[in-house]
Amino acid sequence: MYLLYLDESGDENNANDRNFVLGGIAVFERTTYFLASAVDALQEKHFPNSPPIFFHATDIRTGSDFWRRVPEAKRVEVMNDLVSTVVSTSRTGVVLFSAVIEKSASVYGEKAVELAIEQVCRRFDIFLMRRYQEENDPQRGLLIFSEGRFDKRAKLAVRAFRELGTQWGNLRNLADIPYFAGAKETRLLQLADLVAYSTYQLYEKNRPTLLQSMVDRFDQKDRTLHGLVHCRASSRGPACTCPACASRLRPGDFGDWLPAASPAASTGSPPGSGGPSGTGTP
C-alpha cells in the first residue's frame, strides 16, 4: 500500500494569491518508518536532546514560532536537509504529487479546492494502476490529509470521486475514505507540507530553490511529469514553460523556471504568464 500524505499551500479564498496548491508525498508502507526516522535524525543533528520540533516550512522560512530563535543560516540549512531527506529516499519508496490551480472568476474558493483534490486523486490512481500494469505490483492507496480549513470538503469530494468518478473516469485503487491528522503528529505530513510549500513558492513567488532539487521525484513516465500538474486559468498567450507544462510538450524537458533544468539565463514565460491549461487528460 502507498500512503499519500497531503497538505495545501496558498489561500483558495484570498484574491491576492494567484494559485492554490495541494501537494504531498506518497510513501510505500514499509518506507514510512524509515522516512520518519530520517526526519527525527535531522532534528537530532541540528537540535540535539530537544523535544519534538514541528518542521513547518512557512515557519522555518519566515522565522516564526519556535524558529524565531534560530538564525537564518541555520534555518536555510534545515530546509535543505529536509529536501535532501526526500530526494535521497528510494524512488519506489517515495513519489511526489502536486496540483497547482490558477484561480479565476470561475475557479475560486471551494471550486479550486475541489479541482486540486480531483487532480491529485486521479494522478495517484493512475500511478497505482501503472504499478500493476507495468510492474505486476498490485498496490492500493490511502489518502491522509493534514487537518486544516477544508477537512469536510475534502472528505465529501473524495467520496464523490470514488462513487461517481472524476472527469476522466472512476478511481479504482483507493483502499478507503480519506483520513485526517494533525501535521504536528506525523513527520510524513510535515514533508507533505514541504512539497506543497515548495511547489507554491515556484508558481506563486518565482522561487525555484526548493523545488528544483525535488522535481525529478514527481511521478513520471517516459520523462513526462504526471505527478505535477499546472491547471491554468486560460490557454491563451505564449506557451507555459513551467516543469509540468514543458514536460508534456517535450518529454524530458522540465522547462526554464528551474535553474537546474536550464543553466542559461531564463528567457521563458515567468509564473503568471499565459500557457497551456494543463487541464486535459493526465
Give residue-wise pLDDT tens across range 118-143: 899 899 999 999 999 999 999 999 99
For residue 278, what pLDDT is reported? 36
Phi, psi angle pair for 220, to nearest 5°: -150, 160
What is d(CA 279, CA 99) in angstroms, rounded to the nearest whole number?
A: 10
- Could you give the angle at the alpha carbon of 82 between the alpha carbons of 81 and 84, nearest 5°? 60
User: How far is the C-alpha of 21 from the C-alpha of 10, rounded, in Å?
Assistant: 6
Question: How far apart, in whole angstroms, are the C-alpha atoms of residue 282 and residue 164?
Answer: 18
- Among 157, 217, 161, 170, which Cα is nearest to 8's? 157
> Is residue 277 scored above 50 in pLDDT?
no
CA distances from 171 to 27, 88, 176, 184, 250 (A): 19, 30, 11, 30, 28
Cα-based torsion angle of the residue sequence 113, 119, 122, 123 in order, rounded to the nearest 10 degrees:
-130
Model confidence pLDDT, tens digit, residues 193-237: 999 999 999 999 999 999 999 999 999 999 999 999 999 988 777
Select the more confidently predicted residue: 112 or 234.
Answer: 112
Indicate the CATH number for domain 2-49+88-233: 3.30.420
Segment 151-203, tens digit of pLDDT: 666 666 666 655 544 554 566 788 777 888 899 999 999 999 999 999 999 99
pTM beyond cutoff 0.85: yes
Task: Please state the domain extents for the chain.
Answer: 2-49+88-233
